């Protein structure tokens, strides 16, 4: 059904970076691991190191997966907004070029699915 507005509509985003008290939103998904059907959304300080992201919030979210402890981090691949990305685990999210509402995807070759899963 069509809608006819009586005045111009101006959308105002409610999730701009200034509303997160110095933090930023980051979406992270683990490709081909459907135990987690959607990316996690994390509210993190831009000064957090990439290594702390993996050892902290991502481990808290995903360590229940039986393959988490088997990840070879030297072989892991990352995508940032769909493009290949090589993070520096010692540098901050900001220094790695990760900004508000960016999307990261983790790919773990050899760990694409649980054994016996269809």
71-81 burial string, b = 16+ CB within 10 Å, else e?
Answer: beeeeeebebe
Q: Domains in the chain, start-ordered, CATH in brackets?
A: 21-107 (3.10.20.560)
Q: Which residue has 């899963």 as its token pair?
A: 117
Return the pLDDT at 117.
58
CA distance 108 to 68: 10
pLDDT higher than threshold 70 for residue 114:
no
pLDDT, mean over the chain: 92
Around 115, how many Cα atoms within 13 Å sit in the side-chain half-sphere?
2
Better-scored residue on pLDDT, 112 or 56: 56
pTM comes to 0.86
**Cα 8 to chain centroid, rounded:** 35
């Amino acid at each position: 059904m069509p809608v006819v507005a009586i005045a111009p509509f101006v959308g105002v985003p409610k999730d701009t970076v200034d509303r997160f008290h110095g933090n930023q939103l980051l979406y992270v998904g683990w490709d081909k691991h459907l135990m987690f059907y959607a990316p996690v959304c994390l509210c993190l300080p831009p000064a957090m190191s990439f290594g702390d992201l993996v050892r902290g919030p991502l481990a808290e979210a995903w360590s229940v997966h039986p393959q988490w402890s088997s990840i070879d981090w030297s072989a892991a691949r990352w995508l940032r907004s769909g493009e290949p990305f090589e993070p520096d685990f010692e540098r901050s999210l900001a220094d790695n070029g990760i900004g508000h509402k960016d999307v990261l995807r983790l790919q773990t070759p050899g760990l694409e699915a649980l054994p016996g899963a269809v």
